[in-house]
Structure 1
C-alpha cells in the first residue's frame, strides 16, 4: 500500500489554501516479509447462472478506478485519461473522450457531466466526450470527484473539500481541515451526496457538509488515531460506503468499520476490522473483505458478526457488491466471485479476461459491471 507524506516547501508545516500547492513525495510501501501463499481456489460450482451480457474495451487500468453509475449509465476511465460512458442496458458506448493526461482519480458523473483528476493535479470535466473545463487543484487527489446538483465536488490529499460550478468550473467554496495528519492514503476516500447534505470522510470521521457554502453540519467518528507514529495513527476512511435510508456504514483504514445515523449525525456502532477496501450492504447486513482475504458479514443493527468465509484467504480481493441474494467480489487473478449473502458459500464464479479486477463491481440496469486491468469492461446478469 502506498502512502504519501506532506512535505511543505520552505518550512515544517503543510501550507494550505487555494493558491498554494502542497508538495508531496512517496513515503513507503507496505512490503515487509513475503506474503503468505494464497489459499487454493475452491472447486467451481454453478448453483447460480451468470450470463455475460456485453463487453467493451478501454485502455488498461493501473490507477484506483471507481466506476460511476448514474441511472443506467456507467462511466469508466483508463489510466491514460480516456473516459467512456456506457449504456448498461445493452453495453452501447455513448461517448468516449480524453482528459489529456494520465489519471489519479475518477470517475464522478451525474450522467451528463463526468469528472476526473489527472497526475498534473487538474480537475477535468467532460460532457458528451468533449472537455468542458479544467481547473488546477492545490494538491493531489485520489478520491473520485462527486458530480451532483449541477456542481462538482473534490476532496484533495491535503484534506480540503472544494466545490465547483458544473457548467463553468468556477470555484464556489473551499473547506480546509487541519487534522494534524502527515500521511494520506493513495486510494479513494469517501465523498457522496445524501439528501441535501454532502458527506465526506476526513481522517477517521464522517463529516456532513452544507453543499451550498461548505459549512459543517455534523461530525461522527468511525475511528480515532492510535499508536505512536504517523503510519499507526493513519485512520482515513476508504472506499465505498453502504447506505440504507439514513444509515451510512464506512471503513477506517486497518482500524474499524462503523455505522452512522446521518439524520442525527451520531455513531450507532463500531467494530474492529483489518481491511482497506470499502463496504457494501443491505437492510440486514454489512459486507466487507479484510486484508487477509477473509470475507465478513456484520449485522447492520449492531455490528455483530453474521458469518465469515476464509476460502479465499490471502488472495487480493475488491470491496464487495451486495445484490439480491448474492455478494459479488473481484479477485486478483481475474476471478469474479458470486457468493450467497446468507452464509457466504460459493454460487458461481467467472473470469472476464484473466487479468485482475481493477475496480469494485457496480450495479446498473440489473447488470453487474466490472473493469479489469487490461481495460475490459464486462456486464454480467445473474439469473
Structure 2
C-alpha cells in the first residue's frame, strides 16, 4: 500500500510540475485514526438539505454563506439555492445550466458565482433571477468577495480583478507571477477599509486600493526553503483575517504569522502549517494543522496554549467558534462533527452528517448555530447544546 501511494504521489508530482495547474492534497492518509470517543454525548442536526450533487475538486471553492435569515448555496452542477436558516426550506432555486467553480460572493442585494469556463454571474438575492453574465477569460479559483459595489476576484493566472457590481465590467486589474506548482485553490481577498488584502502562492501578501486598483504594499509572509518543488510550496491558501488591529495569515509550510495592520511589522510567527481557514475568539487562534491535529495559539504572543492530536489523519476541516466563544467545532473525512472545549482542547461532543466527508464548516453566531458542508452536497445545520 505504501509503495502504491508513493508511486501515485510522484506521478501526480511529475504531471503537475510541468504546468502552472494547482495540485490537490488527499483529505486523509493511510494512518487515519479511528473516530475518537467523546465524553459529552451526541449533537443532533437541526435540519439537512441535499443539493443532489457532489462537490469533488470544487469543495473549498463553493462555500455557502449565511446572512439575514438565509443560507445561500451553490453546487457544481449549476443550481443556486436560498434556504431558510430555521427550517432548511428552499426559498428559491435557480438552475444556471453550467458548471460552477467558485462562490458565493454576497452583496447587499445580489450574489455572484463563477463558472469553470471563466464566467462570472450575478443573481438577485431576493429571487435568484440573473442580473448579468460576463466572461472573465481566466479560471476563478477563489471565492469572490463583494466590497460595496466592487467584486474582488482571484484568477488562476495570477490576476486580482476589481469588477463593477452593477454591470460586470472590469474596473481594474493587478497581475502577479504564478509559481509553476501550487496548491489547488486561492485565498479569498480580505476587504479592510477599502483595501483588498490578498495572499499569493508566492508567499507574498499585498494591499490593493479597491477604488483604483493601485497596489499599496507587498510584503513577504513566507519564503521557500525546500530542495524540491513540493517542499518549496508556500501558498497562502487560508483567507487572511484580522482582530483588533492585527492581521493573521497562514501559509502552507510557511507557518502562521501575526502582523500589525498599521505598520505590517511582524508581531509573532508560529511554525504551524495549514491550508485551512483560521478562526479566533477573544484569547486564542484556532488552527487545523496539516496532519489533522488542532492547535490553539495565544492571540498576542503566538505561544501554544494546547494541542489536540486525537484527530490526526482524519482530514480535519476548517474550525469555527460557536456561541459565546468558549466552544469550537471541526469536521472530518467520515462525516463526523466534533465540539471542542477551547479552554482545555478536549473533544466534548460528536455528531455525524450525511453526505460523506465534511469539507467545511461555516456560519456561527451567538445563538450557537453553525453549518457543515459535505463532499456529496449535503448542508447540515447544527446547534450548540445547552450547558449541562
The interval holding the TM-score normalised by the smaller chain is 0.7 to 0.9
* 1:187 maps to which of 185, 188, 203: 185
Range moving further from structure 2, 335-344 or 256-265: 256-265
Seen in structure 2, the aligned counterparts of structure 1 residues 73 and 354 have a Cα distance that, compared at 3 Å, is closer
For the residues of structure 2 that align with 1:118 and 1:278, how far apart are their CA atoms? 23
Unaligned runs of 5+ in 2: 1-8
Please tell me whether the aligned partners of residues 337 and 346 of structure 1 are also in contact (alpha carbons under 8 angstroms). yes
Seen in structure 2, the aligned counterparts of structure 1 residues 150 and 93 have a Cα distance that, compared at 3 Å, is farther
Please tell me whether the aligned partners of residues 98 and 130 of structure 1 are also in contact (alpha carbons under 8 angstroms). no
Aligned to 2:362: 361
SS of match in other structure, 2:358: coil
Post-superposition CA distance 1:32-83 (Å, at most 9, x none):
xx93322222223326x74533332213222123222344433221121212
For the residues of structure 1 that align with 2:351 and 2:362, how far apart are their CA atoms? 13
SS of match in other structure, 1:172: strand
For the residues of structure 2 that align with 1:115 and 1:354, how far apart are their CA atoms? 25
Seen in structure 2, the aligned counterparts of structure 1 residues 89 and 221 have a Cα distance that, compared at 3 Å, is farther
Q: Does 1:54 align with 2:56?
A: no
Seen in structure 2, the aligned counterparts of structure 1 residues 227 and 309 have a Cα distance that, compared at 3 Å, is same
Please tell me whether the aligned partners of residues 21 and 182 of structure 2 are also in contact (alpha carbons under 8 angstroms). no
Aligned to 1:133: 132
Aligned to 1:316: 315
For the residues of structure 1 that align with 2:72 and 2:362, how far apart are their CA atoms? 13
Instruction: Please list, as runs of the form range in 1=range in 2, the aligned pairs for 1:46-85 lying within 5 A after superposition.
Output: 46=40, 50-60=43-53, 61-62=55-56, 63-64=58-59, 65-85=62-82
Aligned to 1:245: 244
Range moving further from structure 2, 74-83 or 56-65: 56-65
Aligned to 1:292: 291
Please tell me whether the aligned partners of residues 199 and 206 of structure 2 are also in contact (alpha carbons under 8 angstroms). yes
Aligned to 1:16: none
Which has a greater percent of helix? 2
Which has a greater percent of strand? 1
For the residues of structure 2 that align with 1:99 and 1:254, how far apart are their CA atoms? 38
- Length, aligned pairs only: 363
For the residues of structure 2 that align with 1:370 and 1:27, how far apart are their CA atoms? 25
Please tell me whether the aligned partners of residues 189 and 240 of structure 2 are also in contact (alpha carbons under 8 angstroms). no
